[in-house]
Structure 1
Amino acid sequence: MKSPFLAVALTCGLAVPAIAAPLCDDLGFAGLLAACNRGDPIEVTLASGKPLGEDVTLQSGAYYKMNITADGSAELALVGPEFFRAIWMNEIVINKIEIRPMAIDSLEFDDAGTAELSFIAIKPGTHVLRIPGSTGETQQIKISIQ
């Protein structure tokens, strides 16, 4: 059912902001974590002198997994407090250990390994994950939440 404001706005020809919705209509018992509400996985690679990955666009209200893989070529970190505050973090999995944090600012890899982040995109906007201290375009990834 549409709200009275939305009905009046549509009738009067007023601009109506885009309404973000989950990726599926029947979320079922699992809610936003339902299988039908999952977006494509996001791949990020931490390697000395290599690009982090492709810029991505996410849907607000949808569930995503981000795989951050370090090749061990250097001690590297990934920072993005604006992005981490624009999502609801479900968990971070490292070596089959599940961590359910309240918030994070960054992840740092001293050796090769993979961290899997699962989250729901919440706050619309464009956010940047980057290697701290770097200035190159390939040393960052832009994540847009719509």
Structure 2
Amino acid sequence: MKTPILAAALALFSLPATAHEFGFAGVLSASNKGEMPEILLSVGQPLAEGPITLKSGMVYELEIEADGSGELALEGPGFFRAIWVNEVVVNGLEIRPFGLESVEFDEAGTMEIEFLAIKPGQYYLKIPGSKGESQRVDISIQ
């Protein structure tokens, strides 16, 4: 019985290197990070310039900036369920939540959400209760 297990273990460790070798941080390594545009929370202003396209398996940092022009939130339950949130940083404080459904700014400030895009599909982030297209940004995970 030990021989098949030993053979499988040796075969696993002798596999050739793949094109997606990650560093010590695995999928969170610097070689696996993608760029994402900033989202601006401001009364009457568009959230972002056009739709956002992400790749599944890549790590992104979503920076949300509120200008303090109003108490504004950002929701996207479908999007937040399609990603794995590594951390949320607010005023230099790192929060490692189990999950998110929405975030809210009572005053001006910046929040960074580092996440791993997982589930391909079409999603959105929007200001709750808003009807205008500029108050929503469509996000596609491929």
TM-score band w.r.t. shorter chain: 0.7 to 0.9
Alignment gaps of 5+ in structure 1: 1-23
Letter in 1 for 2:91: N
Matched, 1:91 2:110: no
Moved over 4 A (4+): none
State the Cα deviation string for residues 39-66 of structure 1 (Å, max 9, x = none): 0133100000000003110000000000
CA root-mean-square deviation: 0.9
The residue aligned with 2:42 is 47
The residue aligned with 2:106 is 110
TM-score relative to the length of structure 1:
0.82
The residue aligned with 1:36 is 31
Q: Would the aligned equivalents of 1:42 and 1:65 in 2 still touch at CA under 8 Å? A: no
Alignment gaps of 5+ in structure 2: 1-18
CA distance in 2, matches of 1:132, 1:52: 12
Q: How far apart are 1:28 and its partner, in Å? A: 2.1
Bigger-Rg structure (1/2): 2
TM-score relative to the length of structure 2:
0.84
**Identity across the alignment (%):** 57
- Taking the TM superposition and a 5 Å limit, the aligned residue runs for 1:15-30 are 25-30=20-25
How many residues align? The count is: 123
Q: How far apart are 1:30 and its partner, in Å? A: 1.1
CA distance in 1, matches of 2:21, 2:38: 28
